[in-house]
Structure 1
Amino acid sequence: MYSKLIKTLKFHNFLNRHRVKSMVILTLLVAYYFCLPKTLFKDPTATVITSDSNELLGALIADDGQWRFPANDSVPDKFKLCILQFEDEYFYKHPGFNPVSIFKALKGNLNSGSVKRGGSTLTQQVIRLSRKGQSRTYFEKLKEIILATRLEFRLSKDEILNLYASHAPFGGNVVGIDAAAWRYFNRNANNLSWAESATLAVLPNAPSLIYPGKNQERLLDKRNRLLRKLYNNEIIDQLTYELSIAESLPQKPYPLPQIAPHLLQKVAKKNRGERIKTTVNIALQEQANTIVKQHYNHLKQNEIYNISVLVLDVKTREVLTYIGNSPTDDAHQKSVDIVDKPRSTGSILKPFLYAAMLDAGDLLPNTLVADVPTQFGSYQPKNYNQTYDGAVHANEALSRSLNVPIVRMLQEFGLDRFYHYLKALQLKDLKYNANHYGLSLVLGGAESNLWDLCKSYAALSSTLNHFNENSSKYYSNEFCQPIYKSDEIINFGKQSTQKDVFDAASIYLTFESMKQVNRPQSDESWEYYDSSQEIAWKTGTSFGFRDAWAIGTTKDYVVGVWVGNADGEGRPGLVGVQTAAPILFDVFDLLPKSNWFNQPFDEMLEVKICKKSGYRASSICDATEMQFIQASGKKTEPCPFHKLVHLDVAERYQVNSSCEAISNIINKSWFVLPPLQAHYFKSKNPYYKPLPPFRNDCVESSGISMEFIYPNQQSTIYLPKDFNGKTNDLILKVAHSKPEIELHWYIDSEYIGSTKDIHDMAVLPSTGEHIITVTDELGNSLKHKITILD
């Protein structure tokens, strides 16, 4: 303790005696400490994206026009050995400068009378590169030495070497080993040969004079001398040396890979000048690029120029493939990324309505829904094939993408209720209220984008997966945004017994229906092949043939495809099943085969279902089966289409106690559709039998009903003309529950005739508004208002 005190006193005495010297030394130390800028290099860098395996997907040149990649965290071993042998053999031994090299350089320069050698170490060269535009004088050299020693205190040797490799010039507008490897050899720097590494090692020595394509003989000589030195120092063996000097030099720069150019654009918006490792699988991306190119070459013959494809991993929500556009040209907006652009949805939202109605308990999977001519005010939906089935099972209406039954389902379910479900899916392009879209919302009246739609389908699949994997629990954040950066992880939220949007059973039953969608012609017999996988998928085609969609999901993957023209031009044949679906299945063929979804039994009930109507079976349904339905479906009504009818012994006529003894009456269940539905249904379903007529001696007690087949209420009709200019008749059609009854027809109270059995009436009304009235012989009447235009 005493000795320490004595030393402290002596030090203070020394400072008092040499105060000026002490201040000078302290000032110099402080100046030395702060002489080196905190950030040596502030140059803009290129935006670089790599795959999930760190392979280059693409790069966007730096803002100053230089191919300068963001600094990597290491230097390739071969290049490291080459640059040390060529530039600075004692790099790991000197303190930032090499006195011997400096002395030799100074002596040589004095003897020659000019600056011939610099004697700079790699550390000094890093300092020189950071101090751009400084003249090469002895005073500047002194500054470099001071700053180099300071840099040695701040960074490790490997960090200094990495700085050099990242910022050294390699000729032209190429800066850094990573950019140089791709520009001159079209490969990653870690995959360079000894000859290629040696070539790059000698370039920074005189990058303005010697680089690929310029002064080839001098470059070859310098490279081979370095290779000889590597051989003499036993870094490479004789065979490697001989093979290396036999390699040719690169002649001109290669273009950088552009495997995912539109994803690069997306990254550059938020991470410009950064190196981003993405979730993209490079093999899958390249194969999908090839598929898109093949289909583009075919579709462009029909003047269809743009395609986008998105592939998501359901479990991780990672983007595996991102194709923003086809390899078209600038005239057809090649650079436009269509993945996140709003486009008319066509029928692609129909599964969401089906799932919503199941989820709300308003529908069972096989429930019969009406498919007849329908008009809501001025809106008159049409099926794509312009025909009607009369009545069709709901799941078949979805799988066949029938417009009329779906719109009728929406009208019954409620536009606002469905809109609420869509908003819960977080479709950002739904910018207006429900009334703005109207009932056309489900047929393409709204817009969405491929990103949001794929996200939503992935969320449905993930909801079902998580429910089955986590003891019938849901996650609170299933409908989260997909990710394309490898360092991001999806947070699915907390587990709960409460569903996020749709319950698992409704999703499963929706997927079961979507699995039955007719595949493109090349895949239409897919179920007979063991190699084929089950896919829940849906197509969509917008009005005017402007947008074609196909989105499909398995337990593990979602694939989404959009086809069309970026400028919105419609084309004949631009239909989802013909243009987008073949691409969808070609991409699915690249993916590992997935098992089908497990059935979520905890959200389902087994009930007796009427086979013919798809409703819960009533006590009089004649053909039933046990089916699993969603739990909410237990509140649906029993079958309304089966009626108990009373027949005579021969079962040819309906009878009652007014004309037949009760002991002779046979009670039988009969499947009966409303007249208009029955009119269309029986033409496509030969098994359908209308009710037998009442026997003539019976007093009929059952209700009579009739409906217009054509025209619809409030219809506006243009009467066509034939080749001779004669106006064709208007054919009025009515369906009656008792077709044998005679009907009487009137236009504006003027009697025009009667019909029996087949109730079609040809008329030629004048232009303007008219009231059509039909009455039967029992006094029942029906009225319709129409407008005739010339």
Structure 2
Amino acid sequence: MKKINNNKGFKPLIAKHKKKTILFVILLLFYVFCLPKELFTKPTSTVITSKNNQLLGALIAEDGQWRFPKNDSVPQKFKTCLIQFEDEYFYKHPGFNPISILKALKQNIQAGSVKRGGSTITQQVIRLSRDNRNRTYFEKLKELILATRLEIRASKEEIIAFWSSNAPFGGNVVGLDAASWRYFNRKSTDLSWAESATLAVLPNAPNLIYPGKNQHKLLTKRNRLLKKLLVKKIIDSLTYELSILEELPQKAYPIPQIAPHLLQKINQTNKGRFVKTTINQKLQNQANEIVKNHYNVLSKNGVYNIAILVLDVKTRQVLAYVGNSPTDKKHQKDVDIIDKPRSTGSVLKPFLYAAMLDSGELLPNTLVADIPTHFGSYTPENFDKKYAGAVSAKMALSRSLNVPTVRMLQHFGLEKFHHYLQQLKLKDLRNNANYYGLTLALGGAESNLWDLCKSYASLASTVNHYNQNSSRYFTNEFLEPTFFADKTVDFGEKIPEKIIFDAASIYLTFESLKEVNRPNSEENWEFFDSSKQIAWKTGTSFGFRDAWAIGTTKDFVVGVWVGNADGEGRPGLVGVQTAAPILFDIFDKLPNSNWFEKPFDEMTEVAICAKSGYRATEICEEKKQEFIQNSGLKTAPCPYHILINVGNSENYQVNTSCENLSHIQQKSWFVLPPLMEYYYKENNPFYKPLPKFRNDCLGETKNTMKFIYPTEKSSIFLPKNFDGKKNELILKVAHSNKEAMLFWYVNSEFITSTKEIHNVAIKYKVGTYTISVTDNLGNEIQQEIIIKE
């Protein structure tokens, strides 16, 4: 076969028609690149939906139009109505319909003006992208060329989606999705045939016909389209009859605003986009209603702002986000409280408790001192201004006692605790430990609801993961939660070492928080089988400015803040009274959760002294077996039990100088230091002070005494009474022997003596004084005070 030489065939041909070839190439290139890469560039609304695609809210576009971002999914009902009304041969033509064009041309020539367009849906998309320029024949030609180019680049479904997202629907409503919500208050996939037909005919003349105007024309167009659907057997006669009975929309509905503060937050980074969130719409609506109900009550007391955050522990997704209450602009309703720094009150106390357990410096039932305490000029007080003498660390946390907490913090170390908090990545903890001082655990620091809920969720997740993954931890356990549905959190790799707190310390902390006294309506909760077990904590900032309640179960974390955005304090703005009821209302809407599993691999069963909560020694008379954290094996043994010799009656201490050896028995006795004992015995009627020696014994009772007030060198300001005179200063001392006689001296000058109740009132001028107290056995204690104006 003879080989054809293409070079000889084409080159002469191109050379012969050089100009035509160049023109053809230019036209071809023009055709290829004539269509803009982005057809529609106008600003769009920021739209957020729930996890199941329910609309949560939208912001109007920058140009004042309700124009939702392009939606590639067009409901079948609307698509059918649109094609039947606008372009029956849509799926058959290449972008234009010659027959329709000829008919329109003939009709327009006969009328002497443009009466009919003959445009296909594709051509309408081009016209919309070119801002509806004047309808001239030259413009029509351009649209035709661009339409054919669009047909090559995009599928028919994409073209339908372009039209549905950018067609005008009257007023400032653009696109099917916005129109569906504005006119029918539902998403487009839920529209009926009558509603779909209404929206299909609206863009045909949006300036003349829209809900509330020219209703008769709109109704005629809609019903004509429905009749066509019946004739073509797209709908049956019953559907048709019911459809034509449906009323037209009379006014535009407001766009739903179910999570307005989350919408604003997302708008900062995703402006003009469609964002699917992790929000549970049902729970969000319930949370909104709960906030509204509590706001109506709290606002009567001048408390106007509430915030709620709900997290899923397993996925670390945000399930509900209420940034503020439905108040007014005067009370800053638009402020998103969730990420704003506020005084923490007591909500950091569990982290101190967990840190001390984790470092092996505490056991849950270890007795800690609850006595008047002074650290220089700082004097912490419990909320009820009372003292228990000694309480278990577990009770100190569950009752949120300030004095034991500060003493624990001082013992544990301020820098050490501050380091633990830094590991939690609380972004508002910006200063060094000394800046906060010992108030760090009582509200001296600031944090926000987001970070606190994140931290509580991380603690819960640590215990869950440890038990689910063969006693392993995840490297990225303390990560940020997310409200983006397309984001999956990465917990990192499994490792055998703890990240911040070990699982046992967290579990024991939750066990304590489970015992926190609930609000009045929740009292006796433990007696009901259906009751939720919740580890929770409240907090109240100084001056009653912030009320907190944060709780966690195995599956969910709920955080609540109540107060005023401007920082104004109000009487009664207390965590347990204002925030806690909201917390439990939210938990009532959540599914029940099983309690945390005990992390046995991080725990050891040991004998614990029943009275002191320390590891039991041989002389502890009452012992019980408890599981403690492994690091707890480093804690000291019980220091409060001593062996004494008593007679048969056990009323006195004896020795061989006064009693036969056969009548002497050795007994273990629980003895607290005098200052702790002074308050402890008031609350524990079965506490037995150390018995004194019998009078006929050659021996002395070991007498101890200690100042109750002041407890150390301190500056004292004497307040004035209503007459303008200075009040007296009351000095107090506790003595282990209730029959001891105490002798009081001020600057070596004898003042008075006391017995049984050792309180002395003095009145001195400004200056420095040394207070000396001596008992009748020669024991002495001293304390220096400075009296100031």
TM-score normalised to structure 1 length: 0.98
Deviation digits for residues 574-603 of structure 1 (CA, Å, limit 9, x no counterpart): 000000000001100101100000000000
| 2:225 aligned partner, one-letter code | L
Alignment of 1:545-624 (within 5 A): 545-624=544-623
In the alignment, the residues of structure 1 paired with residue 474 and residue 40 of structure 2 have an alpha-carbon distance, to the nearest angstrom, of: 46
| Correspondence 1:114 to 2:122 | no
In the alignment, the residues of structure 1 paired with residue 135 and residue 767 of structure 2 have an alpha-carbon distance, to the nearest angstrom, of: 96
| 1:108 aligned partner, one-letter code | Q
Tell me which residue corresponds to 2:494: 495
Displacement, 1:715? Answer: 4.0
| 2:265 aligned partner, one-letter code | K
Tell me which residue corresponds to 1:374: 373
In the alignment, the residues of structure 1 paired with residue 417 and residue 555 of structure 2 have an alpha-carbon distance, to the nearest angstrom, of: 27
Displacement, 1:10? Answer: 2.4
Tell me which residue corresponds to 1:482: 481
Q: Is the 8 A contact 2:693 2:700 kept in 1?
A: no
In the alignment, the residues of structure 2 paired with residue 305 and residue 57 of structure 1 have an alpha-carbon distance, to the nearest angstrom, of: 23
In the alignment, the residues of structure 2 paired with residue 30 and residue 237 of structure 1 have an alpha-carbon distance, to the nearest angstrom, of: 50
Tell me which residue corresponds to 2:241: 242
Q: Is the 8 A contact 2:732 2:759 kept in 1?
A: yes
Tell me which residue corresponds to 1:433: 432
Indicate the SS of the match to 1:339: helix
In the alignment, the residues of structure 2 paired with residue 652 and residue 772 of structure 1 have an alpha-carbon distance, to the nearest angstrom, of: 34
Indicate the SS of the match to 1:139: helix
More displaced 10-residue stretch of structure 1: 183-192 or 132-141: 132-141
In the alignment, the residues of structure 2 paired with residue 404 and residue 417 of structure 1 have an alpha-carbon distance, to the nearest angstrom, of: 19
Q: Is the 8 A contact 2:306 2:325 kept in 1?
A: yes
In the alignment, the residues of structure 2 paired with residue 548 and residue 783 of structure 1 have an alpha-carbon distance, to the nearest angstrom, of: 42
In the alignment, the residues of structure 2 paired with residue 492 and residue 257 of structure 1 have an alpha-carbon distance, to the nearest angstrom, of: 35
Indicate the SS of the match to 1:407: helix
Deviation digits for residues 398-442 of structure 1 (CA, Å, limit 9, x no counterpart): 000000001100000000010010001110000000000000000
In the alignment, the residues of structure 2 paired with residue 319 and residue 236 of structure 1 have an alpha-carbon distance, to the nearest angstrom, of: 43
In the alignment, the residues of structure 2 paired with residue 528 and residue 648 of structure 1 have an alpha-carbon distance, to the nearest angstrom, of: 46
Deviation digits for residues 701-747 of structure 1 (CA, Å, limit 9, x no counterpart): 56432111123434444545666666554332110122322111012
Tell me which residue corresponds to 2:446: 447
Query: What is the RMSD computed on CA atoms of the aligned residues?
Result: 1.4
Tell me which residue corresponds to 2:52: 53
Tell me which residue corresponds to 2:763: 764
In the alignment, the residues of structure 2 paired with residue 258 and residue 564 of structure 1 have an alpha-carbon distance, to the nearest angstrom, of: 23
Tell me which residue corresponds to 2:360: 361
| 1:32 aligned partner, one-letter code | Y
| 1:427 aligned partner, one-letter code | L
Displacement, 1:251? Answer: 1.2
Alignment of 1:12-31 (within 5 A): 12-31=11-30
Tell me which residue corresponds to 1:272: 271
Closer/same/farther in 2, CA of residues 2 and 464 from structure 1, 3 Å limit: farther
Q: Is the 8 A contact 2:376 2:714 kept in 1?
A: no
Closer/same/farther in 2, CA of residues 2 and 715 from structure 1, 3 Å limit: farther
In the alignment, the residues of structure 1 paired with residue 566 and residue 259 of structure 2 have an alpha-carbon distance, to the nearest angstrom, of: 22
Deviation digits for residues 193-230 of structure 1 (CA, Å, limit 9, x no counterpart): 11111111111111111111111111111111111111
Displacement, 1:12? Answer: 3.2
Q: Is the 8 A contact 1:541 1:575 kept in 2?
A: yes
| 1:474 aligned partner, one-letter code | Y
In the alignment, the residues of structure 1 paired with residue 711 and residue 469 of structure 2 have an alpha-carbon distance, to the nearest angstrom, of: 52
Alignment of 1:190-205 (within 5 A): 190-205=189-204
Displacement, 1:288? Answer: 1.1
In the alignment, the residues of structure 2 paired with residue 460 and residue 403 of structure 1 have an alpha-carbon distance, to the nearest angstrom, of: 23
Deviation digits for residues 452-506 of structure 1 (CA, Å, limit 9, x no counterpart): 0000000000000000000000001110000101100010010000101100000
Identity of aligned residues (%): 67
Q: Is the 8 A contact 1:739 1:759 kept in 2?
A: no
In the alignment, the residues of structure 1 paired with residue 444 and residue 66 of structure 2 have an alpha-carbon distance, to the nearest angstrom, of: 46
In the alignment, the residues of structure 1 paired with residue 490 and residue 725 of structure 2 have an alpha-carbon distance, to the nearest angstrom, of: 70
Deviation digits for residues 644-684 of structure 1 (CA, Å, limit 9, x no counterpart): 01112322211234443433321100000000000000000
In the alignment, the residues of structure 1 paired with residue 721 and residue 131 of structure 2 have an alpha-carbon distance, to the nearest angstrom, of: 85
Q: Is the 8 A contact 1:389 1:684 kept in 2?
A: yes
| 1:74 aligned partner, one-letter code | S
Tell me which residue corresponds to 1:747: 746
| Correspondence 1:778 to 2:777 | yes
Indicate the SS of the match to 1:312: strand
Q: Is the 8 A contact 1:675 1:737 kept in 2?
A: yes
Tell me which residue corresponds to 1:644: 643
Q: Which runs of 5+ in 1 are unaligned?
A: none
Displacement, 1:135? Answer: 1.9
Tell me which residue corresponds to 1:292: 291
Q: Which runs of 5+ in 2 are unaligned?
A: none
| 2:376 aligned partner, one-letter code | G
Indicate the SS of the match to 2:339: coil
Displacement, 1:698? Answer: 2.9
| Correspondence 1:400 to 2:416 | no
Q: Is the 8 A contact 1:48 1:59 kept in 2?
A: yes
Tell me which residue corresponds to 2:228: 229
Displacement, 1:765? Answer: 2.6
Q: Is the 8 A contact 2:308 2:321 kept in 1?
A: yes
In the alignment, the residues of structure 2 paired with residue 728 and residue 431 of structure 1 have an alpha-carbon distance, to the nearest angstrom, of: 42
Tell me which residue corresponds to 1:258: 257
Closer/same/farther in 2, CA of residues 724 and 36 from structure 1, 3 Å limit: closer
Displacement, 1:762? Answer: 2.7
| 2:357 aligned partner, one-letter code | L
More displaced 10-residue stretch of structure 1: 212-221 or 482-491: 212-221
Tell me which residue corresponds to 1:184: 183
| Correspondence 1:78 to 2:73 | no
In the alignment, the residues of structure 2 paired with residue 598 and residue 8 of structure 1 have an alpha-carbon distance, to the nearest angstrom, of: 83
Q: Is the 8 A contact 2:43 2:272 kept in 1?
A: yes
In the alignment, the residues of structure 2 paired with residue 475 and residue 726 of structure 1 have an alpha-carbon distance, to the nearest angstrom, of: 65
Q: Count residues in correspondence.
A: 789
More displaced 10-residue stretch of structure 1: 779-788 or 190-199: 779-788
More displaced 10-residue stretch of structure 1: 397-406 or 727-736: 727-736
| Correspondence 1:213 to 2:219 | no
Q: Is the 8 A contact 2:536 2:549 kept in 1?
A: yes
TM-score normalised to structure 2 length: 0.98
Q: Is the 8 A contact 1:610 1:624 kept in 2?
A: yes
Tell me which residue corresponds to 1:305: 304
| 1:75 aligned partner, one-letter code | V
In the alignment, the residues of structure 1 paired with residue 608 and residue 26 of structure 2 have an alpha-carbon distance, to the nearest angstrom, of: 94
Tell me which residue corresponds to 1:704: 703
Q: Is the 8 A contact 2:47 2:57 kept in 1?
A: yes
| Correspondence 1:467 to 2:436 | no
Indicate the SS of the match to 1:707: strand
Q: Is the 8 A contact 1:227 1:245 kept in 2?
A: yes
In the alignment, the residues of structure 1 paired with residue 723 and residue 128 of structure 2 have an alpha-carbon distance, to the nearest angstrom, of: 89
In the alignment, the residues of structure 1 paired with residue 478 and residue 721 of structure 2 have an alpha-carbon distance, to the nearest angstrom, of: 57
Q: Is the 8 A contact 1:457 1:553 kept in 2?
A: yes
Indicate the SS of the match to 2:337: coil
Deviation digits for residues 338-395 of structure 1 (CA, Å, limit 9, x no counterpart): 0110000000000000000000000001000000000111111000000000000000
| Correspondence 1:101 to 2:100 | yes
